[in-house]
Structure 1
Amino acid sequence: MTSEKTVLITGTSSGIGLAVAVAAAQAGWTSVATMRDTAKAGALLKAAAELGVTDRIRVKRLDVAEADSIAACLDEVITEHGRLDALVNNAGAARVGTLEQLSLDDVRAAMEVNFFGVVAATRAALPHLRASGGRVITVTSVGGAVGQPFNEAYCAAKFAVEGFMESLAPVAATVGVDVTVVEPGAVDSEFVANAGLDIPTLLAAAGPYAPALQAYLARTQQSFGNAQTPAEAAAPIIEALTADRPAFRVQTSAWAREFVATSLADLDGSAVQSLTRDWVR
């Protein structure tokens, strides 16, 4: 057991999750870095070694879509460290395609990882966070505030997460637990690559939506050309982790703040629709 603060982070084999795990260790936390396949921990452990924080990293298996996996991981954390001070819900999966291109199973799969996985991990962690006066930090997306073409399933899940956490926050606060959502924009990571997109096949199957999809993909490739690094996106998450009174909603860049503000101030929806219609023509 340890008196050091302990944070559990989901989805740490690459990208933002990896960067958060290492940065939390640098900040003095015991960083429980979880992933579905611990054989993919090489990049994380290399980054930790380069920064001299390997002794603060604990790699564990956790699949947010498996209740038994979540329970087993949390049991190990409490047994080994005696406490849990924060949960960072980072695991997620992209899902590109419009409704006629996706099966209902595709939509359900997107919700399972991006929404229900967050709910399940948070529910399991809350008793321990109540005991420590801890916090829940959930990486959503600017796609949790602005619905984006060809991302209906993904954005639906992220909107659901934001609504869930916004509703949970005042209740959790009554028992001493802070809740924060973090909204990145484009991040230069393996997130998109891990979506397994076969663009020629997508376009061939798009039928009447092919011109719009082509325009969307061209715009998206351009936006990811100006993406944040995972470390840049992780920095506001570490600030939320260590702040005395973290904000409920945090964006990871000036661009993300401006983009999300379009939606939050858009009472009739016209501003968002005007913006996103340009992406598909």
Structure 2
Amino acid sequence: MTDKVVLITGTSTGIGFDTAVATAQSGFTTVATMRDLAKAQPLRETGSGVDIRELDVTDPASVEACLRGVLADYGRLDAVVNNAGAAAFGTAETLTMADIRQAMEVNYFGVVEVTKQALPHLRAVGGRVVTVTSVGGAIGQPFNDAYCAAKFAVEGFMQSLAPVAATVGVGVSVIEPGAVATAFVANADVDPAQAIADAGPYASALSRYLERTLTSYTEAQTGAEVGTVVLQALTAEPPVFRWQTSDWARTFVGTSLADLDGSGVLGLTGAWVRPPRE
């Protein structure tokens, strides 16, 4: 892989961090990008030899400048891993429209911007677009209205793009992790007690949801385990479109893919917020 160049977004922590290390160790020339280079030191300290650069996926000029620099220094771009993202915790009445728009800006429009600008370079070499979505891109989850909406949008975008991109030699894949033990959850900056206090008529449902969700993170995957699946998606021949990162994620996503009338999914997620039966 020594002549293959991969650019990864959102690498300061979590899945992006571990994916950058995994691709570098496997022989990819790895360009690890992040919005704030002040957070780059932990990645430098891995000794993985990654090339760390600034990139804000919500700023088209930043994307263009980063890609221009990569092409100038390496002469090619073989793959993009869209990983940058942000949590958006709340439901329709408790989120502001600014919250919802920001979630779409980072989680959806940022992915579209990077992909759109990278495609001409990927076409030149028969490259790959690999995008980290979520099981929340297949199953909408309570109190994640904006986040799941963005992830659904990403999956629709990529599934529509995939057959067209294949005609010009570019493979497109999505990665669907479940709960992952990374800083992503901490970065959501949710104070459970305050969130419940602010939830108004949804307080009891939110309390039950948080109890269930916080428990699930005690058995979460590591970012490194997800990074291994991203690496598989980058190298699989022929490309595979949809990748789950655990048996649990496969079962969970499979519920949605087989659920023609939606009752299976709503029965599942409704149990997360309903009072238990007497």
Same fold (TM over 0.5): yes
Which of the residues 185, 189, 192 maps onto 1:192?
Answer: 185
Asked if 1:241 corresponds to 2:234, the answer is yes
Alpha-carbon distance in 2 for matches of 1:107, 1:185: 22
* Deviation of 1:195 (Å): 1.1
Q: Which residue of 1 aligns with 2:16?
A: 17
C-alpha deviations, 1:212-265, integer Å up to 9, x for none? 001111111111110001001111110011122121000000000000000000
1:92 aligns with 2:91: no
| SS in structure 2 of the partner of residue 279 of structure 1 | coil
3-state SS in 2 of match to 1:272: helix
Task: Return the offset for 1:198.
Answer: 2.3
Letter of the aligned partner of 1:140 in structure 2? T
State the SS of the aligned residue for 1:280: coil
Instruction: Tell me which amino acid in the other structure corresponds to 1:88.
Output: V
1:121 & 1:71 partners in 2: Cα distance? Answer: 8
Q: How does 1:23-34 map to 2 (within 5 A)?
A: 23-34=22-33
Which of 124, 146, 149 aligns to 1:131? It is: 124
Aligned-partner residue type, residue 96 of structure 1? F
SS in 2 for 1:186: coil
Secondary structure at 1:96's aligned position in 2?
A: coil
> Given the two structures, how large is their TM-score scaled by the length of structure 1?
0.96
Following superposition of structure 1 onto structure 2, how do residues 173-192 of structure 1 map, counting pairs within 5 Å?
A: 173-192=166-185
Task: Give the deviation of 1:201 after TM superposition.
Answer: 2.1
Which of 250, 273, 278 is matched with 1:280 structurally?
273
CA deviation digits over 1:175-202, x for unaligned, max 9?
1100000000000000011111122221
Please tell me the residue identity of whatever aligns with 2:265: V
After superposition, the C-alpha distances for 1:26-70 in whole angstroms (9 at most, x for unaligned) are: 1100000000011101111222x1xxx32xx10000010001110
For structure 1, the residue ranges without an aligned partner over 5 or more in a row are: none
Counting only pairs closer than 5 Å after superposition, residues 262-273 of structure 1 correspond to structure 2 as 262-273=255-266
Partners of 2:195 and 2:260 in 1: CA distance? 34
Matched, 1:252 2:251: no
Q: Distance in 2 between matches of 1:62 and 1:232?
A: 25
RMSD between aligned alpha carbons?
Answer: 1.0
SS of alignment partner, residue 192 of structure 1: helix
**Number of residue equivalences:** 274
**Residue 6 (1) aligns with residue 5 (2):** yes
Letter in 1 for 2:10: G
CA distance in 2, matches of 1:182, 1:280: 27
Give the distance between the partners of 1:147 and 1:189, measured in 2 at CA: 21
What is the match of residue 195 of structure 2?
202
Contact 2:2 2:27 in 1 (8 A): no
Percentage of identical aligned residues: 63
What per-residue deviation string (whole Å, max 9, x for no partner) do you get for residues 61-105 of structure 1?
A: 001000111000000000000000000000000111011100111
CA distance in 2, matches of 1:224, 1:195: 14
Partner of 2:40: 41
User: Which residue is equivalent to 1:229?
Assistant: 222
Instruction: Normalising by structure 2, report the TM-score.
Output: 0.97
After TM superposition, where is structure 1 displaced by more than 4 Å over at least 4 residues in a row? Answer: none
Q: Structure 2: 5+ residue runs without aligned partners?
A: none
Query: In 2, distance between residues paired with 1:201 and 1:159?
Result: 28
